[in-house]
Amino acid sequence: MQTPHVVTDDAPALQTDEATASRIHFDIFTLFPQMFSGPFDESIIQRARANGLISWALHNIRDYTTDRHHVCDDTPYGGGGGMIMKPQPIFRAIETVLSRPAGWVLPAEAAYVSLPPWEAEAPPSLPPAVPVILLSPQGRLLNQQIVLELSQYRRLALICGRYEGVDERVASRLATDELSIGDYVLSGGELAAMVLVDALTRLVPGALGHCLAAHQDSHSPGLGGLLEGPHYTRPLTFRQETAPEILLSGHHAQVHQWRREQALARTLVRRPDLLESAALSATDLAFLRRLGWEPKA
């Protein structure tokens, strides 16, 4: 008879040192951890992790079930279509992980059978400085300001819902925030979690090649909340369209003014709602008025 593996606080932590050193650590709770292997293994996210700027740990919620068939969903009370994610595995996974240092993961051999002790009716005290974010179409609509706020945290927990949704007690008793990436419905929160990780990674100093790249993105403080204007590169002329002459003039002040005006004009055409809350100078207002825009009273 095999001796059961007992998990303690000294159990193997696959990424503890990496998580401690990183600027932001993500604990991601999902039923489909393999979905993250492609997007997280490429480009900016992969380089940021390789350089020790971010870290993450993927936690399979199903590993925290104790029934014979490892069930994570059930039919909704009151009837209706779809299945609902059960609260117990989610609560147990998050409370177990967040009660331990960043980077701790459940050893594979301990899944289902040798879980750390947990009392359903005696919740542990979780660290207050770790937001627990439920990715949901009913959450606050994610924008750059929210990304900036979240970038100040050293550790974040992301819950990826599935099926028809999660038991409401996850939202009301466990999650500290609920975020949506748009007014549409996805099959689960995994893609939304990837979007949030990517947006946050871009703000970590050193993650991008240019130190001001993120600061000058659309919606970012460097543009006062505006959309970026157009960009051009070689060749000078392509399909009978030539890059604006001002960009080749070498006159930095004029180039800066042109880019600002292009950002204002593009925002007016594509997202005029952003102008109401944008940081606009007197020169900006004069330019917009020439285009026929007036701020609302």
pLDDT in tens, the chain (297 residues): 333 333 444 444 445 788 888 999 999 999 999 999 999 999 999 999 999 999 999 999 999 999 999 999 999 999 988 999 999 999 999 999 999 999 999 999 999 999 999 999 999 999 999 999 999 999 999 999 999 999 999 999 999 999 999 999 999 999 999 999 999 999 999 999 999 999 999 999 999 976 656 766 788 887 899 999 999 999 999 999 999 999 999 999 999 999 999 999 999 999 999 999 999 999 999 999 999 999 997
Q: Count Cβ atoms below 10 Å from residue 42 Cβ, excluding itself.
A: 10
Q: In what order do the strands lie in the sheet with 177-180?
A: 54-60, 24-30, 155-160, 132-141, 177-180
Closest CA to 109 of 258, 3, 190: 3
Q: Kindly name the residue from 87, 101, 164, 266 that is annotated as catalytic.
A: 164
Closest CA to 207 of 22, 12, 9: 22
Contact 90, 166 (CB under 8 A): yes
DSSP string for residues in 75-118: PPTT--SS-EE-HHHHHHHHHHHHTS-TT----GGGTTTSPPP-
Pick 219-290's CATH classification: 1.10.260.40, 1.10.10.10, 2.160.20.60, 1.10.1270.20. Answer: 1.10.1270.20
202 is catalytic: yes
Contact 62, 209 (CB under 8 A): no
Q: Kindly name the residue from 137, 167, 178, 260 that is annotated as catalytic.
A: 137
149 is catalytic: no
Question: Nearest-5° angle of CA 168, CA 171, CA 177?
Answer: 160
Q: Kindly name the residue from 202, 259, 260, 284 that is annotated as catalytic.
A: 202
Please check whether the domain covering 16-201 is classified as CATH 3.90.25.10: no
Q: Kindly name the residue from 95, 217, 259, 260 that is annotated as catalytic.
A: 217
Q: Where are the domains of the chain?
A: 16-201, 219-290
- The model's pLDDT over 108-119, given as tens digits with 9 standing for 90+, comes to 999 999 999 999
The pTM for the full model equals 0.90
137 is catalytic: yes
